[in-house]
Amino acid sequence: MSAQGLEVIDHTVSLTHEWINELSGRLDWSSHRSALRLMRVTLHHIRDHLQVNELAQFSAQLPLLIRGIFFEGWVPKTTPIKERTSTGFLMAIGEQMKTTPEFRGDVDIRRVFDLLNARISAGEIADIRASLPADIRDLWPAP
């Protein structure tokens, strides 16, 4: 039992660390902070391409703490964004990751997709991929 009786918080912190550790391993990065940053930035760019209903279904499978990160700064009236190309998607993430020396562009973004494929149901991943523009969908391998 949690010292404070707040097991749900202890559990989500533990689960969030699992996700970050797994992503750090997939990336082969030593900085967990950078791995979390890449996950956050990539999730935000995925989020901004989704309709509200699909976004809610996807977020329901995220750990509580990561779900909070996912919705951080979201402005529903500005989504989904019109950006349709993988180049624009990669550039937007790259711009936010430019101060991270380990960042290798699309190779690392695909590791985030691999993590999501491993942690989210295959049916939900299929729905999310189908909701994305084809050019961006091609970046995300099927589970």
Residue 5 reports pLDDT greater than 70: no
| Half-sphere CA count of 6, side-chain side, radius 13 A | 6
Give the helix, strand, coil percentages of the chain, each rounded to 5.
65, 0, 35
In-domain check, residue 2: no
State which residues form the domain around 28.
Answer: 7-137
Mean pLDDT of the chain: 94
What digits encode the pLDDT tens for the residues 13-64?
999 999 999 999 999 999 999 999 999 999 999 999 999 999 999 999 999 9
Cβ pair 135, 49 in contact under 8 A: no
What digits encode the pLDDT tens for the residues 71-83?
999 999 988 888 8
In-domain check, residue 100: yes
Residue 12 sits at the vertex; the CA angle it makes with 69 and 14, to the nearest 5 degrees, is: 115
Question: Residue 83's pLDDT is what?
Answer: 82
Separation of first and last alpha carbons in the chain: 36
In-domain check, residue 108: yes
3-state SS class at 33: helix
- Domain count of the fold of the chain: 1
CATH number of residue 90's parent domain:
1.10.490.110
pTM of the model: 0.93
DSSP assigned state of 46? H
Question: Residue 104's pLDDT is what?
Answer: 97
In-domain check, residue 16: yes
